[in-house]
Structure 1
């Protein structure tokens, strides 16, 4: 069992985005969401990247303004910028096959 687990409830700030990456012998889709989470006066925004085909289909049915519950793993990605040679990084929530889920909680009311 994965001990790196996070659950967020927030509002989708945009419709889901689908990217296709080329792999040896084929391609794979990644569905990305931009989620706004409010806690009192604090507002945080998270990127969610979905690699699980079943959860991708659930996410694709959602639209901007939907309140969603996301369970996944925190990840950190780093890469070197080709123009500046500086390292850049981001933290995001990943939903891997059989390791997380997304579900709609209906339309957001000033979440």
Structure 2
């Protein structure tokens, strides 16, 4: 296995888990403490912290500790990179489908073209 992983790979790996996606959804509404993130989740605080470590290592979330409270925020740049990658794939597929539609229209038998 490779020692170094691309940031985009790390972001997709971090977002592959439904719990972590739920955390990111919550953080997309604004910063939250670890306790606030843990409140609706059916897991221990230790498990929540592990999920947050994965999100932070991937650059999707960042946190800062002030006193005894650790506050987390979404890191928009990581999400933007994933969004760009997805949009590029979508545009590529759409172009292929557009070319296929043109080809099918051009090769359609004459009797079907007039209908």
Q: TM-score range by the shorter chain?
A: under 0.3
Higher relative contact order, structure no. (Cα contacts within 8 Å, ≥ 6 residues apart): 1
Higher helix proportion (structure 1 or 2)? 2
Structure of larger gyration radius: 2
More strand, by proportion: 1
TM-score between both structures, scaled by the size of structure 1: 0.24
